[in-house]
């Protein structure tokens, strides 16, 4: 989501005549786009802010824009006091405050025409930043902003605001625009992406949107994330199974495998519900790969409850598990009511156990690809090898002197490991 947001800011800045620099010291404008989903991410943002501060002291004309979930959608008076050297504060996904600031103070000197103040990122006609134009293979399109769920651990609804679906015309226009600029694969984004359209009767649902995106000429692949177990409907399964461009890869977090912990998280399903969902996904979408998220050390999680998660993960044999150690987030229900009673060392122990288990599981799943032929969409060259992905989102590296960027080619897999595979054209 932040990568997508940052691309939009870059694009908007280029509309005003700015160009990218890789040297912070050279910049006239620095945008720091932040994440606060865990304390570690928030700390990183503070660290970066502190490293930018001296640049402002040396160059008072430097414009510093703090953006994203550290700012949030509510008042940022506290941040203003704490970081007086920041010029502009922007909520997530919103380049407008920065654009307003820059056009007021610099529009005359830069002699940009009227259109510069029209925000391309808002009306669906998205110009990719210069560096990405013609080279970006896989692009992101946010389709639902914010989140109105209240998982007790999660800060996102407080910082990204209530759930808002974007108009389908904007999404389709943006997809076509990305394809014109060389993009071959689009990933639709939302905190609960399957809830797309639920806030507006005039909009299609996610499967309806996928049907329309599938018709775009030149677009090769469509993905979406993140799903929630309670909102995945049969028509969505059918869309994934039947639409040739929609890839058989589902990101659907379980978070915990114990019912009491799930209830305390207010996730709205049981371990058995999730087990059934996985079975249904596998039945309806042959060859589907499934990714999940898990939090260890949620307040009150006993060792026995954790072991339920461990055993379920062992049983389900999923393709990816994004693991996180619980981190108390200000303002959340868990922070207000539940404390943080699992010691850090114990969280780490549980994390490592799942990590080891999952490494073994993925190693076994991926080994089944050995000797198989699979279509790979190539994205970029890393050292002397081309990097691409299978329909199931597995990373594949292939040695080739040719320019494979953006090409979708059959690859025979010659080596597999838990994190990547090697193949030949
Ligand atoms: N809305 C998406 C993504 C949420 S953030 C979803 O429902 O999955 C991505 C992941 O970060 C979550 O799935 C969760 O596993 C993790 N996460 C969120 N809040 C957290 C917290 N307070 N501590 C640790 N991990 C957290």
2 and 44 Cβ atoms separated by less than 8 Å: no
Nearest to 157, CA basis, from 165, 166, 149: 149
Which of 253, 301, 334, 347 to mutate for ligand 1's pocket (most ligand atoms within 8 Å of CB)? 253
Beta bridge partners of 293: 322
Q: Quick one: tokens of 38?
A: 């865990």
pLDDT reading at 114 higher than 80: no
Atom of ligand 1 nearest to the CA of 155: 19
Nearest to 357, CA basis, from 303, 415, 295, 309: 309
280 and 252 Cβ atoms separated by less than 8 Å: no
Query: Which residue, judged by its Cα, is nearest atom 18 of ligand 1?
Result: 154
Atom of ligand 1 nearest to the CA of 334: 22
> From ligand 1's centre to the CA of 142, what distance in Å?
17
CA distance 71 to 303: 36
CA distance 7 to 94: 11
Please tell me the predicted confidence (pLDDT) of residue 321: 98
pLDDT digits (tens, 9 = 90+) for 318-369: 999 999 999 999 999 999 999 999 999 999 999 999 999 999 999 999 999 9
Atom of ligand 1 nearest to the CA of 328: 22
pLDDT digits (tens, 9 = 90+) for 382-397: 999 999 999 999 999 9
Give the contacts of 370 (CB within 8 A, at least 6 positions apart). 413, 414, 415, 416
> From ligand 1's centre to the CA of 425, what distance in Å?
38
> From ligand 1's centre to the CA of 37, what distance in Å?
7
> From ligand 1's centre to the CA of 154, what distance in Å?
6
Please tell me the predicted confidence (pLDDT) of residue 355: 98
pLDDT category of residue 415 using cuts at 50, 70 and 90:
very high
Please tell me the predicted confidence (pLDDT) of residue 124: 65
> From ligand 1's centre to the CA of 270, what distance in Å?
18
DSSP states of 308-364: HHHHHHHHH--SEEEEEE----TTSHHHHHT---S-HHHHHHHHHHHHHHHHHHHHH
pLDDT reading at 15 higher than 70: yes
CA distance 3 to 19: 18
Helix (H, G, I), strand (E, B) or coil at 49: helix
Ligand 1 pocket (Cβ < 6 Å) reads 37-38, 153-154, 156, 191, 226, 228, 253, 255, 293, 295, 324, 326-327, 329
Give the contacts of 68 (CB within 8 A, at least 6 positions apart). 2, 5, 32, 33, 34, 35, 36, 90, 91, 92
> From ligand 1's centre to the CA of 22, what distance in Å?
30
pLDDT digits (tens, 9 = 90+) for 159-215: 999 999 999 999 999 999 999 999 999 999 999 999 999 999 999 999 999 999 999
pTM: 0.94
**Cα 339 to Cα 262, 300, 345, distances in angstroms:** 16, 8, 17
User: How far is CA 118 from its chain centroid?
Assistant: 26
How does DSSP classify residue 64? E
Query: Which residue, judged by its Cα, is nearest atom 12 of ligand 1?
Result: 293
Q: How many CA atoms lie within 13 A of 319 on its CB side?
A: 23
pLDDT category of residue 117 using cuts at 50, 70 and 90:
very low
pLDDT digits (tens, 9 = 90+) for 262-316: 999 999 999 999 999 999 999 999 999 999 999 999 999 999 999 999 999 999 9
User: How far is CA 400 from its chain centroid?
Assistant: 30
Domains, the chain, ordered by start: 2-120 (3.40.50.12160), 138-367 (3.80.30.20), 373-424 (2.40.50)
> From ligand 1's centre to the CA of 156, what distance in Å?
8
Residue 28 class from Cβ within 10 Å (0-12 exposed, 13-18 middle, 19+ buried)?
Answer: middle
Query: Which residue, judged by its Cα, is nearest atom 19 of ligand 1?
Result: 154
Peptide bond before residue 421 is cis, with ω within 30 degrees of 0: no
Residue showing tokens 């040739």 = 244
> From ligand 1's centre to the CA of 193, what distance in Å?
14
**Cα 311 to Cα 253, 304, 358, 400, distances in angstroms:** 16, 10, 11, 42
Q: Quick one: tokens of 335?
A: 């922070």
8 and 126 Cβ atoms separated by less than 8 Å: yes
277 and 230 Cβ atoms separated by less than 8 Å: no
The stretches of 197-343 forming alpha helices (DSSP H) are 206-213, 234-242, 259-265, 271-284, 303-316, 333-337
Beta bridge partners of 255: 294
């Amino acid at each position: 989501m932040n990568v997508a947001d940052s691309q939009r800011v870059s694009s908007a800045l280029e509309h005003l005549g700015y160009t990218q620099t890789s040297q912070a010291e050279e910049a006239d404008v620095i945008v720091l786009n932040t994440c606060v989903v865990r304390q570690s991410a928030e700390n990183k943002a503070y660290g970066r802010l502190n490293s930018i501060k001296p640049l402002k002291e040396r160059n008072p004309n430097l414009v510093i824009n703090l953006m994203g979930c550290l700012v949030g959608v509510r008042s940022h008076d506290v941040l203003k006091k704490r970081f007086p050297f920041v010029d502009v504060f922007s909520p997530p996904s919103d380049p407008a405050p920065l654009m307003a600031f820059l056009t007021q103070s610099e529009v005359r000197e830069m002699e940009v025409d009227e259109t510069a103040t029209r925000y391309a990122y808002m009306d669906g006609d998205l110009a990719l930043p210069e560096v990405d134009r013609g080279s970006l293979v896989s692009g992101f399109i946010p389709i639902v902003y914010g989140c109105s769920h209240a998982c007790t651990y999660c800060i996102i609804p407080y910082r990204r605001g209530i759930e808002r679906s974007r108009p389908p015309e904007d999404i389709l226009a943006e997809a076509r625009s990305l394809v014109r600029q060389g993009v071959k694969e689009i990933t639709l984004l939302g905190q609960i992406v399957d809830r797309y359209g639920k806030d507006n009767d005039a909009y299609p649902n996610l499967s309806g949107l996928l049907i329309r995106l599938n018709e775009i000429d030149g677009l090769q692949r469509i993905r979406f994330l993140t799903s929630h177990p309670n909102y995945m409907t049969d028509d969505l399964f059918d869309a994934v199974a039947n639409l040739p461009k929609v890839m058989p890869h589902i990101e659907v977090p379980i978070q915990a495998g114990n019912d009491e912990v799930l209830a305390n998280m207010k996730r709205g399903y049981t371990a058995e519900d999730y087990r059934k969902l996985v079975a249904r996904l596998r039945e309806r979408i042959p060859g589907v790969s499934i990714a999940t998220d898990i939090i260890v050390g949620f307040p009150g999680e006993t060792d026995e409850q954790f072991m339920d998660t461990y055993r379920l993960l062992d049983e389900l044999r999923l393709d990816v598990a994004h693991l996180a150690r619980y981190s108390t987030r200000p303002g959340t229900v868990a922070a207000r009511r539940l404390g943080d009673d699992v010691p850090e060392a114990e969280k780490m122990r549980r994390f490592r156990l799942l990590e080891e288990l999952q490494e073994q599981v993925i190693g076994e799943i991926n080994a089944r690809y050995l000797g198989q032929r699979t279509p790979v969409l190539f994205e970029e060259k890393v050292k002397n090898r081309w990097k691409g992905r299978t329909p199931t989102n597995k990373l594949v590296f292939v040695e080739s002197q040719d320019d494979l960027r953006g090409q979708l080619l059959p690859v025979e897999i010659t080596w597999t490991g838990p994190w990547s595979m090697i193949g030949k054209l």
